Amino acid sequence: MFEIKTVGLFFITALAEILGCYLPYLWLRENKSVWLLVPASLCLIVFAWLLSLHPTAAGRIYAAYGGVYILMAILWLWLVDGIKPTIWDIVGSGVALLGMAIIMFAPRGT
């Protein structure tokens, strides 16, 4: 159950971070409303809070989270930007997720 909760929390965290960065991008690059910075700021606050919910060391969380973030960014590329991922995008995401799983779920001596 710990593994499912951890990975699910990583996915929600990645979505908050991507939204927190994408909304200012829309304002800066696409000439959208400056008011997008308000929900962007809220998303980044939620992102930081979600990272704090994990029970293990912060450095380990940040390292492992990166693997899920990579997958979410590739999904964003496909679903939001409309660019189909290449085989290398998919393979790279798989390798990153494997790294996340090794970091988070490897047995540790106590």
Percent of the chain with pLDDT strictly greater than 70? 99
Percent over 90 (pLDDT), the chain: 67
pTM: 0.85
Lowest mean pLDDT among 21-25, 55-59, 81-85: 55-59
Range of the domain at 40: 2-105
Closest CA to 79 of 18, 4, 7: 18
User: Torsion angle of alpha carbons 16, 91, 61, 5, nearest 10°?
Assistant: 70
Contacts of 48 (CB under 8 A, 6+ apart): none
Number of domains in the chain: 1
Identify the residue with better confidence: 73 or 4.
73
Residue 82 backbone class (left: φ over 0; alpha: ψ -120 to 50; beta: rest): left
CA–CA–CA angle 56, 46, 94 (5° rounding): 60
- Is residue 88 in some structural domain? yes
For residue 110, is it within any domain? no
- Is residue 90, in this structure, part of any structural domain at all? yes
pLDDT: which is higher, 44 or 109: 44
58-82 average pLDDT score: 91
Query: Does 14 fall in a domain?
Result: yes
Q: Is the pLDDT of residue 60 over 90?
A: no
